[in-house]
Amino acid sequence: MNDSNFQLPAHPGEVLREWMKGNDKTIAETAALLGASTSQLNRVLAGKVRLSATLAVRLENLGWSTAEVWSRMQAAWEVAEARRAEDAA
């Protein structure tokens, strides 16, 4: 692709972090709602790990969009990251 203007789409963790800010939720509160550890959630929010299908379903169960939307967001980020890595090679 080799487009210098190419930008990665947002990692789902970034989107979740913005939702948390807008709803005054702490990492601890959100982790508890999702049945996740705070360290696990921190890694997702930082974009260090992928947002799993399980976490996507838990987000859906809380009414925070659908698991498919979260999963597509993750897939789009991964494809864009792979393209960026290929272009850098």
DSSP sequence for 8-66: PPPPHHHHHHHHHHHTT--HHHHHHHHT--HHHHHHHHTTSS---HHHHHHHHHTTSS-
- Say yes or no to pLDDT of 69 above 80: yes
CA pair distance 6, 83, nearest whole angstrom: 10
Is residue 45 exposed (0-12), middle (13-18) or buried (19+ Cβ within 10 Å)? Answer: buried
Q: Global pTM?
A: 0.87
57 confidence band (pLDDT: 50, 70, 90): very high
**pLDDT of amino acid 89:** 86
The whole-number pLDDT of residue 8 equals 83
What is the fold, at CATH topology level, of the domain defined by 12-88? 434 Repressor (Amino-terminal Domain) (1.10.260)
